[in-house]
Chains A and B, each alone.
Chain A
Amino acid sequence: NAGVTQTPKFRILKIGQSMTLQCTQDMNHNYMYWYRQDPGMGLKLIYYSVGAGITDKGEVPNGYNVSRSTTEDFPLRLELAAPSQTSVYFCASSYTTSAEYNEQFFGPGTRLTVL
């Protein structure tokens, strides 16, 4: 199992450009998440999905969009990139969201710089 994979690993964008961060998991997890991590800060939830065709906003969704057409894939779209979106982006998945067993498995992250 590859687990959770993310591409690209690094990207530099100019202000106003758009891009899609790819995320794929091969664990057949229903639940998938996108987080951003700014230096010295905790992870902030951008969007999440409880299954194919179902997505919902997290804490910091503005400037982002997601889709979930398959169980495996959960791409994150940045429209009109801004310097405030400079961050490390992590995709994660979990088998369940139950209180006891909500272990999330993370991809290696995408380091995005917007100049």
Chain B
Amino acid sequence: RKEVEQDPGPFNVPEGATVAFNCTYSNSASQSFFWYRQDCRKEPKLLMSVYSSGNEDGRFTAQLNRASQYISLLIRDSKLSDSATYLCVVNMNYQLIWGAGTKLIIKP
């Protein structure tokens, strides 16, 4: 079983829709969690950290479920500029373990 698993997609979503991704992780001792965004042929950039109580940043909401070992990312009112690959990242023993990413395509 992979340490961090994501649905690779692509998710094809009309502009303005709401879309959600999940990510599962295998190590229950994982310490912290992040979502990174990676545009095509570019470097990853931090989108948001994921806190135990859930957190929101504008149109983006992240949730953590430690009991089921998954994190989620919800994007509301999606924009064309949200098209990217979203990488789930888990901090284990002070090293980041990266998922392969979920590709999102927003259509006009």
Contacts and interface: CB of A to CB of B under 8 A. Distances in A.
Interface string B83-108: 00001000100111111110000000
Interface in B8-25: 8
A40 B43 contact: no
Interface residues of A, number: 21
B99 A42 contact: yes
Interface stretch (A11-19, A63-71, A98-106): A98-106
Interface of B: 4, 8, 31-32, 34, 42-46, 49, 87, 91, 94-101
Interface of A: 35, 40-45, 48, 58, 90, 97-100, 102-104, 106-109
Q: Give the top 10 A-B pairs by smallest Cβ distance, nearest first.
A: A42-B98, A106-B43, A99-B31, A97-B94, A43-B98, A99-B32, A42-B100, A103-B46, A42-B99, A41-B100
